Amino acid sequence: MHSLNNLIIEFYDKLSSWEQSVVKDTGYSLAQVHTIEVLGSHGSMRMKELADRLGITTGTLTVQVEKLVKFGLITRSPHEEDRRSILVRLTNEGIELHTHHNRMHIQLTEDITRNLDQSSIDLLTKCFDKMNREF
């Protein structure tokens, strides 16, 4: 278990470093890009749901959302069925940023799995799926 722990930490560190290097040239913070990623992957959602997915408070998210609205990447509007809730969604510019960033993630995945056969990729996929459900 000790060696698995070390490998997970090493992978996380390398992935985080890669993510930082990719994001630094965009002019946006890593947290802002993560917000764009979640909205791009899951579609529009309530502020509370978005904060939960990001693992941050709604207060912290509000600050991020303000900046992303000013950048023209997302919009806010009252939820149609629950006027007390705010719905956030990507603008066309936000969709473009998400698409570009997602392509980079796909390229990274292809690069790091290049030497794996399909059965290894299938096993890795199953392992990540199970681990993600534990969080």
The reported pLDDT for the residue numbered 60 is 93
The CA-atom distances, in angstroms, between 17 and each of 21, 33, 57 are 6, 15, 25
Residue 43, Ramachandran bin (φ over 0: left; ψ between -120 and 50: alpha; else beta)? left
The reported pLDDT for the residue numbered 5 is 94
The reported pLDDT for the residue numbered 83 is 74
The reported pLDDT for the residue numbered 67 is 95
Please report the domains of the chain, with CATH numbers, ordered by start residue: 28-134 (1.10.10.10)
For each of the chain's 135 residues, which pLDDT tens digit applies? 889 999 999 999 999 999 999 888 888 999 999 999 999 999 999 999 999 999 999 999 999 999 999 999 999 998 787 778 899 999 999 999 999 999 999 999 999 999 999 999 999 999 999 998 997
Cα dihedral 29, 30, 36, 41, rounded to 10, equals 170
pTM: 0.84
